[in-house]
Amino acid sequence: MSPQITVEALGIRFDLDRQRRPVTPAMARVRRRCTTEWALRNTSFTVGPGAGVALVGPNGAGKTTLMRAIAGVLTPDEGRVVVEGRVGSLLSIDGGLMPSLTGRENALLLGSLAGIRRAAVREALPSIEERCGLAAAFERPVSTYSQGMRARLGFAVMEQADPDVLLLDEVHEAIDESFRAHLESRVTEVRRRGGVVVAAGHDRAMLRRLCDSVLLLDRSGLRRLGT
């Protein structure tokens, strides 16, 4: 089945009171009434094989929430999300990384989280090490890494999973020019073989190179879909 993403009448809400524990009885009385906020609502679209879609909009518009719903991290409160194909996602620079572990140890951990057999990850470690380009830093704790170095490591491991659907949430904005070229090449390869790429961020020039269509979000949900 060809990789694609179908989002139908998607709605995701957050119970703000459940995320804020009152510290005094007085505060508890103030927060008696539950406050619910919809991060996304009435959002529908379809992404077909070979597409590259940019998610744009102001901070708080729901870009990351939509990415997490597509990745299966968040469950819709309304509507549904259907994704066909293997999903590879970088939704956070630090997603899944353990600061106290080395780059090599984190590569094994991320590979397991991505569903790759541990033996296969071990066999692929030389390739991952070469792709991320961290040199001697591969043996150092991730706590010593910059954001760009963490993004390099995460992307190199994700490549090993060979995803059909590639989700990038502002990760491309943390890396340097040399690794951007590698990322762009990989995105082109995924789309050429019929895969789907969804990238969120604020770097319009980079998004134009990665994608050929755009979803414009605001705080009420999907505002516009176009080129």
What's the average model confidence in pLDDT over 55-66? 92
Q: Who's near 193: CB < 8 A, 6+ residues apart?
A: none
Strand partners, 199: 54, 168
Q: How much is the pLDDT for 69?
A: 94
Decide if 131 is inside a domain: no
Q: Which domain holds residue 207?
A: 4-86+163-226
In a domain, 51, yes or no: yes
Nearest CA to 213 among 5, 32, 2, 1?
5
Determine, yes or no, domain membership for 209: yes
Strand partners, 51: none
Q: How many helices (H) and strands (E) does the chain have?
A: 7, 9
Global pTM value: 0.82
Span 105-127, average pLDDT? 88
In a domain, 142, yes or no: no
Q: What are 153-212's pLDDT values in tens digits?
A: 988 888 888 899 999 988 767 778 888 888 889 999 999 999 999 999 888 888 999 999
> What is the mean pLDDT of the segment spanning 26-49?
77
Q: Which residues pair with 190 in a beta bridge?
A: none
Q: How many domains does the chain have?
A: 1
Contact 206, 193 (CB under 8 A): no
- Determine, yes or no, domain membership for 125: no
- Whether 67 is covered by a domain: the verdict is yes
Please give the mean pLDDT across all residues of the chain.
Answer: 86
Give the model's confidence band at 226: pLDDT under 50 very low, under 70 low, under 90 confident, else very high.
confident
Q: Which amino acid is at 221?
A: G
Q: Mean per-residue pLDDT for 4-33?
A: 71
The predicted pLDDT at position 105 comes to 95
What is the structure's pLDDT at 33?
A: 56
Interstrand relation of 78-84 and 52-56 (parallel, antiparallel or unpaired): unpaired
Distance of CA 88 to the CA centre of its chain: 8
Residue 175 lies in a domain: yes
In a domain, 130, yes or no: no
In this structure, what CATH number is given to the domain that contains residue 209? Answer: 3.40.50.300
